[in-house]
A and B are shown apart, each in its own frame.
Chain A
């Protein structure tokens, strides 16, 4: 059990460190989702099944999807500005 915990924690460290060194934003978001899933396995090793369920649903699920939605919206802002001049962003109103 200790060896498994050591391996998983080392994997977490490698994930966290390599977020800074990834060039693409999509890659760093996927690294965050893997980090959450491995952290969920660690909660099970620590005998807390509630936390494991919540971390898996929230970390890899909701936070990942929110990051992807934000990234897609940034690309949409780019595309709208390139295509139609102002696009439909409401940046100019405020």
Chain B
């Protein structure tokens, strides 16, 4: 357990945050809190990805004057992947919020249980 948190601090914390976000998504009945839980899950995964590229004691991936050795910089590849992911995450959040607004205009409640009940009653 101590080895987990001394060797893999960022990864373990990212997985814990993933679990917390997932629990928030499943256990809350309010739609906006579900969307916040999904956002927390997204950012936890990005933390995990970017911590894969970290190398101890090296510079950030911007060229410094005079340091041309390629083994003096942090791995830039995972950072590029996460950059795309952050923009996709904001797109998904915007779409989910638009859906929530339309659902509220139709059913006048943010509680997912009540929405399902009203939708089923409307079908019959």
Interface residues, chain A, with chain B CB atoms under 8 Å away: 2, 5-6, 9, 12-13, 16-17, 19-20, 25, 28-29, 31-32, 35-36, 39, 42-43, 46-51, 54-55, 58-59, 62-63, 66-67, 70-71, 73-74, 77-78, 81, 89-91
Q: Are A46 and B36 in contact (CB under 8 A)?
A: no
Check if B32 sits within 8 Å of A47, measured CB to CB. Answer: no
Main SS of chain B's interface residues? helix
Whether B50 and A43, one on each chain, are in contact in the complex, defined by CB atoms closer than 8 angstroms, is yes
A29–B20 CB distance below 8 A: no
Q: Which residues of B contact A (CB under 8 A)?
A: 9-10, 13, 16-17, 20-21, 23-24, 27-28, 30, 32-33, 35-37, 39-40, 43, 46-47, 50-51, 53-54, 58-62, 74, 79, 82-83, 86-87, 89-90, 93-94, 97-98, 100-102, 104-106, 108, 110
From residue A92, how far is it (CB to closest CB) to chain B in Å?
A: 9
For the complex, give the distance between the alpha carbons of A89 and B13 in Å. 44
- A interface secondary structure, majority: helix
When distances are taken between beta carbons in the complex, the residues of chain B under 8 Å from A9 are 9-10, 13
Known interface pairs A54-B83, A74-B104; 16 further A-B residue pairs with C-beta atoms within 8 A, sorted by A's residue number = A12-B17, A13-B13, A13-B16, A16-B20, A16-B24, A20-B33, A28-B33, A32-B40, A50-B83, A51-B82, A54-B86, A55-B46, A71-B32, A74-B110, A77-B104, A90-B105
